[in-house]
Every structure is written in structure tokens, then in C-alpha cells.
Amino acid sequence: MRILLALPAEKSIFNYLVPVAWALRTAGHEVHVACPPRFTGAVTQAGLTAVGVGPDRDPWRLSENRPAERAALRAGVAAPYDLFDAPGTASWDYLRDGMTAAVTGWHRLTNFPMITELVGYARFWQPDLVLWEPLCYAGAIAARACGAAHGRLLFGIDVFGATRVDYLRARARQAPAEQADPLADWLGGYARKYGFENGEDLATGHFTIDQLPASLSMDTGLDTERVQFVPYGGAAVVPDWLKRPAERPRVAMTLGLTATEVFGGYNVPLSDILLGLSELDIELVATVAEDVQRTLPPMPGNVRLVPYVPWHALAPTCAAVVHHAGAATLATTARHPVPQLALHYHFDQPYLGRRLAGHGAGLEIHTGDATGENVRDAVARLLTEQSFKDRAVALRDEIFAMPTPNELVGTLEALTAKHRTR
């Protein structure tokens, strides 16, 4: 088969998709990755074939001079997606107005630059299957324009699918004259332009690939295939200090790259947390951006600050970890029986933190409540209470019972045959 992946220029999102792309590639299928031209280097570094489509417009730059707008982006998911985990609680007005704003100020903005060239390439190359990340509606449009099967490949909780299902339920309860659907209207315009019928698959795909286990995920009711999350973080080298066992129980901490690369800093009392954790009889390894390290006070000898270390190499050596509840970090850790403390803040992080704690494999604290003292006490519990270790083992076993990316390939071949229209 020929398989086309469509995605924006977001490295953190792309990294989620690489193992599935390679599973398809090593099964003998041709795989091309369509993305903005400035991102082709990241694709080729992963050993995949890149296809640059559209002009290089960076949506993040639009908010550089709008501090209030950027702060709102950091604080959470834009309406109406902020209520993805509370279906049925939003008014119709809130859902309708939020979706209208999301389509006009977000989805059009990020997809429009790609659509024309992506459709042109799809019609030329004739892929059998198009996989797209949940915000890259350009992938669905291109797939339908060339008759390919297509599906969404998630990079965390299905925030957008859950909201879409909730939206359609609320819409069905309205009078016919009030049944606005700005997302379907926008996508339907491209259906008319390129000569195919509008359909709900343009919003949620013929199917969805979820890389999280049921214990951490959400059942949206959409046609979903689960697969193990296999970590990929780009080029990495295991440092010398990680080649030997720790002399004391090792605790790792990371608060993610987005906090510093996009938003310019952490939103927790970082020095207090590091000093609080140093009071425990542990070796603490914390990934902290170099510019932030220079602002910190001197740290005790059991604290190691590093700008980066491959998490999939570090997590298995740990007795506990502290992180921001990013889906990749949480899922990478969950592949090993390591208890976790989630210091969550935005997007799907609070949901994932609650699911982790509810499962029993860890604890969660909102960053607005995090202090050096309560983070220290939470980690002390993870290190000493056997139940967290036991539940971490259960979560690891649940993940390993899921299909690997290689085992998913046959399912994708069957779904392609089912949904392809040419």
C-alpha cells in the first residue's frame, strides 16, 4: 500500500506518530509524510520520506505579541474543547459559539495553507490510506479527494473526537433552524470544491487509532483501534552517568518542553520543589532548560540538573517519577512498573492525571496547588507505599497486552480495503 501521513509542524505531535509510520514501512508499505516545508528536516531525521506542502506559516507566531492570548492558550483548551471530559454540561450556545470561533480562528488558520498542495499531491501519488493527526483536517480532505481510506492517529486523549460527539448530540436536540454546524459547513465547502460528498468522516475519520490503554483513555463511541504507545523522541544519546545503577533510589522529574519552548517558563515553584525533593534519601534527576538552570540557587549534591535525557532510557532506572502529565511522558513511564506523580496544568493533562491517580499507579497535583512540601510528601508515598508499585505493574501489563504497532498493520490493511473507494 501507499500511505500518506498528514500533520502540522509540531515536533511533539510528530514524535507520537513515528513508530506507527515505521511499522508500516517495515511491513513493506510505502510511507510519505506531508507537512509544512520547514518541518521536513525533522521528518527525514526520523528516517522517513517528507513531502513539503503549502507555505511556511507558523500559527504560534501570531500570538507572540499577544500576551493575553498566549496566556489563554497555556491555561487550557480553547472552547468548546475545554469541556471534552464533561459531556452534556455545556449549553448549546456555548458549544455553537465555541465551535464557530474554533473553526474560524484555529482550524481554518492551520489547515488552509496545506490543503491545495496536499490534495494535489494525493491525487498525483494516489495513496491507499491517509493517516492524519486530529487537527489536520487537510488530511481528511485530501483522502476523500483521491478516494483513499483515512483515519486519525491520536497524540493523547481524544479531546476533539469527544467534543464532536457531544456537539452532534446537542445539535440533534435543537430545532431544525437552530442546528448550526460550522465544522461540517467548512469541511463541506471543500467537499463541493473537490467533487465528493460531505460526511462525518471528514471530522473524525473512517476510524481512530488510540495509543493509550483503556485505563488512561476515554471511550468516545467512535470506531477506535488501540495500539501500544512506543516512545520516540528523536536523536538521543545515553549519558555516561546513566550507564550504571544509581547508588540511591532514583527519582526523575520533567515538566515538558512546551513550558519553555512555547510559553517561556515553568508555572510551578521549581526551586522549592527541587529543594523539597532533595530532602529525601534519593538521587534526583531533573530535566531543566539551561537558561532556567542559571536562575536557580545552588542545589544539594543529590540533585542532578540536565537540559535533556532520553526519557525512555531514564524512566526504567527510577523508583518514581514526577512529570507534567504529558501523554507521551506518562505513557512512556507506564511501560515500566514505576509510580508517577502528575503535576498537571492544561490540555488533556488534568484528565490524564486524574485517570492515573484513579487507577492507583500514581498521584496527581494541579500545578496551582504544587509546593515543595506537598510534592516531596507525595513522592515519599510513591516510594514507600507498595500499592502504587503494584498498580504500576498492572498498568504495564495492560499496555503490553495491547497490539504493538507491527501487529496493528494487518488491521490497517483491512480497514483500508473496507473504506477505500477506488
Give the pLDDT band (50/70/90) at residue 290.
very high
Distance CA 192, CA 63 (A): 32
Structure-model confidence comparison of residues 29 and 259, the more confident one: 29
pLDDT digits (tens, 9 = 90+) for 197-252: 999 999 999 999 999 999 999 999 999 999 999 999 999 999 999 999 999 999 99
| Average pLDDT of the residues of the chain | 94
pLDDT at 151 over 50: yes
Identify whether the C-beta of residue 167 lies closer than 8 Å to the C-beta of residue 80: yes
Give the pLDDT band (50/70/90) at residue 75.
low
Q: Under 8 Å CB-to-CB from 385, ≥6 apart: which residues?
A: none
Q: What is the structure's pLDDT at 267?
A: 83
| 57-61, 81-85, 272-276, 332-336: range with lowest mean pLDDT | 57-61
Structure-model confidence comparison of residues 179 and 62, the more confident one: 179
pLDDT at 262 over 80: no
pLDDT at 59 over 70: no
pLDDT at 67 over 80: no
Q: Angle at the Cα of 406 (from 402 to 410), degrees rounded to 5?
A: 90
For 240-400, CATH gives 3.40.50.2000
pLDDT at 153 over 80: yes
pTM of the model: 0.94
Mean pLDDT of 17-36: 98
pLDDT at 265 over 70: no
Question: What is the percent of the chain where pLDDT is above 70?
Answer: 93
Identify whether the C-beta of residue 25 lies closer than 8 Å to the C-beta of residue 33: no
Q: What is the structure's pLDDT at 266?
A: 81
Mean pLDDT of 158-162: 98
pLDDT at 283 over 70: yes
What Cα–Cα distance (Å) separates residue 55 from each residue in 39, 58, 113, 137? 11, 9, 6, 17
pLDDT at 92 over 70: yes
The DSSP annotation for 212-231 comes to S-TTTS---SS-EEE-----
Considering the chain, tell me which residue range(s) the CATH 3.40.50.2000 domain(s) occupy: 2-228+402-419, 240-400
pLDDT at 108 over 80: yes
Q: Under 8 Å CB-to-CB from 416, ≥6 apart: which residues?
A: 1, 128, 129, 148, 149
DSSP code of 302?
Answer: T
Mean pLDDT of 30-56: 97
pLDDT at 71 over 60: no
Q: What is the structure's pLDDT at 22?
A: 98
pLDDT digits (tens, 9 = 90+) for 349-386: 999 999 999 999 999 999 999 999 999 999 999 999 99
Q: What is the structure's pLDDT at 260?
A: 45
Give the pLDDT band (50/70/90) at residue 256.
confident
Q: Which CATH class is domain 2-228+402-419?
A: alpha beta
Residues 296-325 as b or e (16 or more Cβ within 10 Å = b): eeebeebbbbbebbbbbbbbebbbbbbbbb
Identify whether the C-beta of residue 207 lies closer than 8 Å to the C-beta of residue 151: yes
